[in-house]
C-alpha cells in the first residue's frame, strides 16, 4: 500500500473515531497531544488481544474491536478512572477487506461511545502471524487517587461486581455448542453467556464508589482466585470466600448444580472483566449504595484474613478443594 | 506459568526498570498513574516492532530492546517532547530463556537511560507467532506546543538531522555480508551501518530547536521521500531537494558513487529515524545554532514549493527519476 493508500485507509475507517479531539490531529500526525484536567492525572494501561489467545479468527470484527477496547477500559474502571482516550496498534496478517475494516471500525465506534473515550493515534502494520490489537488506554483520576491493587487489610470486605463465570461458559459453548443441551441451558442463558465472552462490559459506573470507598481494586481478567491471590499477596494477607455468595452469570448456576467442580472452574476461569475490590467494613454500606446509584450491582463475597492464600467454602462451611485455577498468560503450548 | 511465577518474572527482569517512578507501583499493579508537569501535556505514540518486519529472530536481545524503544522515542524527539515514560506489551512465541530475558532487559535499561524515560507498566503474553514488542511512549511538552507534522509553508527551508541511508545499508549488509567487499566499504563504515540498523539514535537533543524554531516536524521512519510527501500533502505543497545536500551515513556515499540508483534507494529507504523539519527562512540560522548546541547536526536539504510532489535534483540541476520509494507497512507478501 502506498503512502497515499495508507492515508486513505486511515481516513476512511479510523479518522472519524478521533473527531472532536484536537490533539489527535485527525490521525494525520505520528503522535497525539493529551493532558489531564488540572489537578488530575492519567491512569494508563496496555493489554493486547491476540487471535488464538483472546479471540477466534472468525469472530465478528465488531466483537473483536469491542473486546480489544473493553479489556483495557475494564482496567481503568477498576482503578476509579474516567476513560478519555486510546492508542491502537493494529497488526494484521494481510491487508483487510474493506467490509471487514468497516465492521471493525463500527465495533470500535460502539465501544468508544459506550465507554466515553476516543481514538487519538496508533499504527497499522501487516506481517505474517496472528491478528493482534494492542490498545493503550488513558483514564483520568484526581491526582494521586488511582485505586491501587495493593493495600488489602485484614477484616476488609471483599466485593465483586456483576456476575461471574459467564465468559468461561460462553467460551465452552463457542468451542462445543452441543453442551448447551447437555447442561439443559435456557436459550436466554446460552445467548447471554456467548455475549459475555464476546462483549465484556467494563464497570465504568463504579468510578465514584471505588474512588470514595474502596481500599483496593483490580479487574478480574485471569480469574477470581488467581487475581484475588495477587491482590492479597501484596500485603501478605489471604482471603476467605463463600461459594454461595458468588454472583453467577446466567446458566452458570445450572452447570454448578450439575457438576460443582466444573461450575467452580467456570466461575474462576477469568475473562469476566468484573471488578474485585476490598472495602473497609465501615464503608461497606456506602460502597454498595453508590455502586447501585452508578447502575452496577456489587456483591460481598468474603473477607480478608491473616492466613495467606485464597479459600472457598461451601454452605456447610466445608472448604472446597481447588485445582490450578485461572487463566495463565504463559500456558500456551 | 503460575501467577507467582509470572510475578517473579516481572520482579526479576522488569521491575528495576520502573524504579524511581512512584506511579508505576513497582509493576505490581495493572495500571500506572502519570501526570505531566503543570502547564504541560503529554505527546503519546505507539509503534510496535515485530520479528520478520523490523528485526530478525536472531538479532541480539539487547538490540531488539533498544530498537523497540528507540523507534518510539524518535517520534517524541521529532515533536519536541521530553521522553518521560513508556508502557511495553511483550508478546513472545514461548517463555523466554532467563539469559535472553536478562539481555533484553539490559538493552531496555541502556535505552531508557540514554533517552531519559522509565518503564511504568505493560503486559507479557505467550502465543504462537512472531515476537512482538509494542511500546507506547509518553513525552512532555508545554501544553499546545507539540510540533505538528502539518503546516509546511511555501519557502520554508527543509532540514534533516544526522545522516541518511545508514540503516538501509546496514540491512543490506545484514542480508548479504559479501556486499561490503563488492562495494569496497571501509570496515568502520560497514560496522557503523550495521549499528545504525540495529540501534537507531533518536534525536532528543533537537527538542529546544524544534520547539522554538520549527514550523513542522516528523521523524523519518518510512523513508525521506515518502515521509516528506506526507508532510507536504497536509498543506497541499511540495518539496524540491538537492541530492548533493543530503547528509550521508558512512559508506552510503561510496555506494552512491558506484551506483546512483542504488544509492538513492538506500538514502530514501527509511529506518534512519532522523528528524525531518521545515523552518521559516528567518528562523533558519537560530534553528541551526540551537541544534548544534543540542549536539545534533542538521542540514538544509531543500525547500518547500507550490508544486505538489517531492523532486530530487542532482548537482547539474537535472531532476533524478525516482521509482516507488520508502518502506510500505502494507508491502508484506
What does the pLDDT average to over A91-119? 96
Cβ of A236 under 8 Å from any chain B Cβ?
no
Query: Looking at this predicted complex, what is its ipTM?
Result: 0.94
Give me the pLDDT at residue B151, please.
Answer: 98
Q: Please tell me the class of the A3-142 domain.
A: alpha beta
Q: Helix (H, G, I), strand (E, B), or coil: what is residue B44?
A: strand
Any idea of the CA torsion for B98, B104, B106, B111, to the nearest 10 degrees?
A: -170
- The distance of Cα A311 from the centroid of its chain, to the nearest Å, equals 23
Q: Helix (H, G, I), strand (E, B), or coil: what is residue B303?
A: strand
Interchain CB distance below 8 Å, A330 and B87: no
b/e per residue A44-62 (b: at least 16 CB within 10 A): bbbbbbbbebbbeeebbbb
Mention every residue, 6+ apart, whose C-beta is less than 8 A from residue A222: A270, A326, A327, A328, A329, B3
Handedness of CA B62, B65, B68, B71 (dihedral sign): negative
Please report residues of A whose CB lies closer than 8 A to that of B132: 91, 129, 132
Residue pair B93/B227 in contact by the 8 Å Cβ criterion: no
Position A330 pLDDT exceeds 80 = no
Shortest Cα–Cα distance, A44 to chain B (Å): 5
- The distance of Cα A302 from the centroid of its chain, to the nearest Å, equals 21
pLDDT band at B2 (very low <50, low <70, confident <90, very high): low
Shortest Cα–Cα distance, B333 to chain A (Å): 8
Mention every residue, 6+ apart, whose C-beta is less than 8 A from residue A282: none
What does the pLDDT average to over A171-177? 93
pLDDT band at A326 (very low <50, low <70, confident <90, very high): very low
Position B86 pLDDT exceeds 50 = yes
Q: Among residues 129-148 of chain B, which lie with CB inside 8 Å of chain A?
A: 129-130, 132, 134, 136, 138, 141, 143-144, 146, 148
Give me the pLDDT at residue B321, please.
Answer: 85
Mean residue pLDDT across chain B: 93
Interchain CB distance below 8 Å, B122 and A41: no
Q: Is the fold of A3-142 the same as that of A157-313? A: no
pLDDT band at A4 (very low <50, low <70, confident <90, very high): confident
Q: How far apart, in Å, are the Cα atoms of A285 and each of A148, A213, A273, A279?
A: 21, 10, 23, 10
> Which chain B residue shows the shortest CA-CA distance from A41?
B35
Position B303 pLDDT exceeds 60 = yes
Position A78 pLDDT exceeds 90 = yes
Residue bearing the bigger pLDDT, A285 or B129: A285
Give me the pLDDT at residue A327, please.
Answer: 41
Q: What percent of chain B has pLDDT over 90?
A: 85
Shortest Cα–Cα distance, B5 to chain A (Å): 10
The pTM assigned to this predicted structure is 0.95
**pLDDT tens-place string over residues B147-195:** 999 999 999 999 999 999 999 999 999 999 999 888 899 999 999 999 9
Of A286-290, B9-13, B70-74, least confident by mean pLDDT is B9-13
What does the pLDDT average to over B302-312? 96
What does the pLDDT average to over A274-278? 98
Residue pair A227/A145 in contact by the 8 Å Cβ criterion: no
pLDDT band at A210 (very low <50, low <70, confident <90, very high): very high
Question: What is the Cα–Cα distance from B158 to B178, expressed in whole angstroms?
Answer: 36
Domain residues of chain A, as ranges?
3-142, 157-313
Residue among A31, A35, A324 minimizing CB distance to B143:
A35
Q: What percent of chain A has pLDDT over 90?
A: 86
Position A142 pLDDT exceeds 90 = yes
Question: What is the Cα–Cα distance from A245 to A198, expressed in whole angstroms?
Answer: 26
Residue among B5, B31, B149 minimizing CB distance to A29:
B149
What does the pLDDT average to over B297-320? 96
> Which chain A residue shows the shortest CA-CA distance from B229?
A3
Residue bearing the bigger pLDDT, A143 or A6: A143
Residue of A136, A269, A310 to mutate, testing the B interface (most B Cβ within 10 Å of its Cβ)? A136
What does the pLDDT average to over A35-63? 94
Of A35-44, A317-326, B60-69, least confident by mean pLDDT is A317-326
CATH topology of domain A157-313: Phosphoribosyl-aminoimidazole Synthetase; Chain A, domain 2 (3.90.650)
Question: What is the Cα–Cα distance from A219 to B308, expressed in whole angstroms?
Answer: 51
Mention every residue, 6+ apart, whose C-beta is less than 8 A from residue B252: B163, B164, B165, B166, B169, B193, B263, B266, B267
Amino acid at each position: 500500500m502506498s503512502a497515499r493508500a495508507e492515508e486513505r485507509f486511515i481516513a476512511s475507517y479510523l479518522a472519524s473515531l478521533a473527531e472532536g479531539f484536537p490533539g489527535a490531529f485527525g490521525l494525520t500526525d505520528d503522535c497525539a497531544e493529551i493532558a489531564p484536567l488540572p489537578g488530575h492525572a492519567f491512569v494508563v494501561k496496555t493489554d493486547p488481544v491476540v487471535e488464538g489467545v483472546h479471540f477466534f479468527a472468525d469472530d465478528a470484527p465488531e466483537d473483536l474491536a469491542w473486546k480489544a477496547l473493553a479489556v483495557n477500559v475494564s482496567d481503568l474502571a477498576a482503578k476509579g478512572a474516567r476513560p478519555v482516550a486510546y492508542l491502537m496498534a493494529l497488526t494484521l496478517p494481510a491487508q483487510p477487506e474493506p467490509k471487514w475494516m468497516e465492521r471493525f471500525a463500527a465495533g470500535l465506534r460502539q465501544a468508544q461511545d459506550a465507554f466515553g473515550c476516543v481514538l487519538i493515534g496508533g499504527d497499522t502494520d501487516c506481517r505474517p502471524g496472528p491478528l493482534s490489537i494492542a490498545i493503550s488506554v488513558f483514564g483520568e483520576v484526581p491526582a494521586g487517587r488511582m485505586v491501587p491493587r495493593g493495600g488489602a487489610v485484614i477484616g476488609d470486605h471483599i466485593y465483586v461486581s456483576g456476575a461471574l463465570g459467564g465468559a468461561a461458559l460462553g467460551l465452552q459453548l463457542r468451542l462445543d455448542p452441543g453442551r448447551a443441551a447437555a447442561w439443559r441451558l435456557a436459550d436466554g442463558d446460552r445467548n447471554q453467556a456467548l455475549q459475555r465472552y464476546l462483549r465484556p462490559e467494563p464497570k465504568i459506573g463504579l468510578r465514584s464508589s471505588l474512588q470514595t470507598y474502596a481500599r483496593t481494586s483490580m479487574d478480574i481478567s485471569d480469574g477470581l482466585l488467581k487475581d484475588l491471590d495477587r491482590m492479597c499477596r501484596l500485603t501478605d494477607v489471604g482471603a476467605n470466600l463463600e461459594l454461595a455468595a458468588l454472583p453467577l452469570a446466567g446458566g452458570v448456576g445450572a452447570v454448578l448444580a450439575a457438576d460443582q467442580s466444573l461450575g467452580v472452574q467456570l466461575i474462576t476461569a477469568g475473562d469476566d472483566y468484573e471488578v474485585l475490590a476490598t472495602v473497609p467494613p465501615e464503608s461497606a454500606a456506602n460502597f454498595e449504595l453508590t455502586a447501585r446509584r452508578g447502575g452496577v450491582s456489587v456483591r460481598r463475597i468474603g473477607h480478608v484474613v491473616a492466613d495467606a492464600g485464597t479459600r472457598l467454602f461451601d454452605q456447610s462451611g466445608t472448604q472446597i478443594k481447588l485445582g490450578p485455577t485461572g487463566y495463565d498468560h504463559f500456558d500456551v503450548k
